[in-house]
Amino acid sequence: MEFIDERIIELKEKANDIRISLIESLIAAGSGHTAGSLDMADIFTVLFFHTLRHNSKKPDWPERDRLVLSNGHICPVLYSAMAHAGYFPVEELKTLRKFGSRLQGHPHRDFLPMLETSSGPLGSGLSQAVGMALADKIDHGLTSDRRVYTLLSDGELECGQTWEAAMLAGKEKLHNLTAVIDRNNIQIDGYTENVMPLESLSDKWRAWNWHVIEIDGHNIEEIADAFEAAKAVFGKPTIIIAHTIAGKGVPEFERDYRWHGNPPGLGPTDKVPADKQGAVALAELRTLGGEIKSEHQ
């Protein structure tokens, strides 16, 4: 795909807006998951503003692509991307995790019916996405052109159910399924390779008959190209292993597993005191405006 710099910069600015809004929502909530939300902002941006076939004014449009967020705890970035895409007012993001809010701590369709699924308990999103892709395969066989996307964390690959689903998708040759792993190398108790080694990750997926693409999960062009490339793969589901930097966008938060489950104000204090964390994060993100360049520049 030919990507002009203006388009890349436009998407990068959108990703930055999504990061700012999700940090604001986490500050307002006083709890929630920061690191994964920040590091998936670029991928959510490409999905909602470039790749997905969807219509925020008609969320139940039957022909839409499907997006299943498996690791529901990074819903701040999902909600922020949805708000910026026009599903609901950006202002509503500040109700995150509050009583009566549509924006539950982990996504719940009862409260926000436009969600494709309720999620939180890890390991079941890939299975649900496989079910959605299978439904289209049953109805349309290999001619199905709707795509089912699912986003997984690396930590949740430790759940056995993920591999049950991987086996089935390979067996059923689900060409219409694209899964993305947020390979940020962290989970609650530490770095994934210390908690439970996952490598060699790409070999594991290939063994189950998946097409594997590895990308820089912050390079807009690579992200968009990977989603396009997946559409051309015949007879196999595609897994995109997106190498990301946990906490991306706020250098003080980056690559530190202690930011997995804490909002600004409750994170580790060795770099930034608790009472300054929110302000530092917003300052870092807000001063990026005008400084954003395309990867080509």
Q: Single out the residue of 17, 24, 65, 136 in contact with other proteins (rule: CB under 8 A).
A: 136
110 binds other proteins (CB under 8 A): yes
261 binds other proteins (CB under 8 A): no
Give the separation between CA 261 and CA 151, rounded to whole angstroms: 18
Residues 6+ positions from 56 with CB-CB distance below 8 Å: 82, 85, 86, 87
Q: Would you call 199 helix, strand, or coil by DSSP?
A: coil
Provide, rounded to whole angstroms, the least separation between the CB of residue 50 and other proteins: 24
71 binds other proteins (CB under 8 A): no
Class of residue 116 by CB neighbours under 10 A (exposed 0-12, middle 13-18, buried 19+): buried
Provide, rounded to whole angstroms, the least separation between the CB of residue 168 and other proteins: 6
Give the separation between CA 112 and CA 109, rounded to whole angstroms: 5
Q: Residue 171's CB: how many other CB atoms inside 10 A?
A: 10
Contact assessment for residue 263 and residue 32, using Cβ atoms and an 8 Å cutoff? yes
172 binds other proteins (CB under 8 A): yes
From first CA to last CA, the distance across the chain in angstroms is 18
How do beta strands 177-183 and 238-243 pair?
A: parallel
Q: Single out the residue of 52, 93, 157, 165 in contact with other proteins (rule: CB under 8 A).
A: 165
Provide, rounded to whole angstroms, the least separation between the CB of residue 128 and other proteins: 4
114 binds other proteins (CB under 8 A): no
Q: Single out the residue of 68, 223, 239, 242 in contact with other proteins (rule: CB under 8 A).
A: 68
Q: Single out the residue of 37, 124, 238, 244 in contact with other proteins (rule: CB under 8 A).
A: 124
Provide, rounded to whole angstroms, the least separation between the CB of residue 58 and other proteins: 17
197 binds other proteins (CB under 8 A): no
Q: Which residues bind other proteins (CB under 8 A)?
A: 66, 68, 108-110, 116-121, 123-124, 127-136, 138, 160-161, 164-165, 167-168, 172
